[in-house]
Chains A and B, each alone.
Chain A
């Protein structure tokens, strides 16, 4: 199968259909909350499935995967922040909010990558799934720290008025509260909880759940990506506001993160081509479910148009349509096959 046959995976085609429906201004609307229900289902299924597999896995490799997931989760937003500051196109608070999105992960992109690997018959390890769960939160914490530093810097240079500086100082006392929110985020709870249930359940019990977690999984993923295609296309009208430099950033940052992820997955964790592709996807993807509400709450000064347009309007479609086969191709080159 050629690398670029990713475009012919039904889930990806439904993503494109959703985008087209929005562009031609179709009256198609999904019921409210459907995306939320579908994403809970997807995380629950992948969690149960992964937990079941991980129960049979090697503890040493699992711990090593968690360590490298933390390195990626804490390291990528710092690199993302520095590269944004260099562009001089956004203020430090916007840069902190945007880079938090790039350090965190998109379960939708990860699942699309699984659909790509499955449809190509490529094997992959289940360790990247623990990495997905681990990588949801660290970037939020880094985003909060970067924002706190940016506020101090802006206040010192007179960029923030004294009143809002006092307000923001008061908010930094809420840091532990925000930290708790980052770690108890809904998707983290569903994913880790389902993994634990999958790991400790009787195999016969999991067997009975197979129709729920296996057979209808790809269909639900199609529905989810169908709606997300519409959501991504809704952001197109914001492109002008965001500007060319940031739009390019939305495509370069996943390539950069993807390359780092691929190198860690292939050389450090020594995963198969499929497993290393999944680590690359984790490095490349930007969150659009867990991080945006956290940033809206923690960094209200940052402009949501920037981070939402970048993560949902640019990086998500880029990864789904081009990134995943590109990362697969890159890992294949690393392996020399």
Chain B
């Protein structure tokens, strides 16, 4: 049996085709997922272009004479209790909030996944140390914990990020660990070992890609949670220092005027709800789309 193929033919033939198209198709089947995506897209674009749409100054400049101004053609969302343009504050505040949320999610994901993968794959003492450490960590109520961290380190972008990472990484550890425990039993992992692959290689080339679906879905859902969480922090006065706009903080300030000037409350509240909802819908759609293609 002779094997004769020329090099040219092979390199043409080998192109990395992804399953991306299939995932996109399945995603687009779900109306709610697409609505979520579009909504989030709009929100993201608008927030990213915050500086272009309305200068930052608008969000922080105080106009005492415009206090609690009802929405009109100059200030489409009206003004808050300091006379600041709410629309500008929503936009710039959103940019900060979303930015922190996305970065926070990313950091917590990376840290959590790595710890979970290592615990799951190596098992034994490593696993015990990591998991018990995690238990201790989780025994402290996370809000209290992050409050303490921010209070101790001071409220700025980096510290907020650290606090959020610490609060959310635990999610991933357990998740990835159980995925790993499940996947490590698979024949194809044993096959990789038969080829001489070591632990880390197996984790990165076989286990994490196959756990990706679950990780991604969880991540998108966490973004929504983090936005709300971050809003909570800023509501409690532990967010970015004033006058930096933040949705949670805006909610806090709006408390006093709930009855007299509901628009102060309405717009930040709606923004949080819409953003979180959009992300959740997308996350659900992603989960269904990433579902084992093998089950068709």
| B partners with A | no
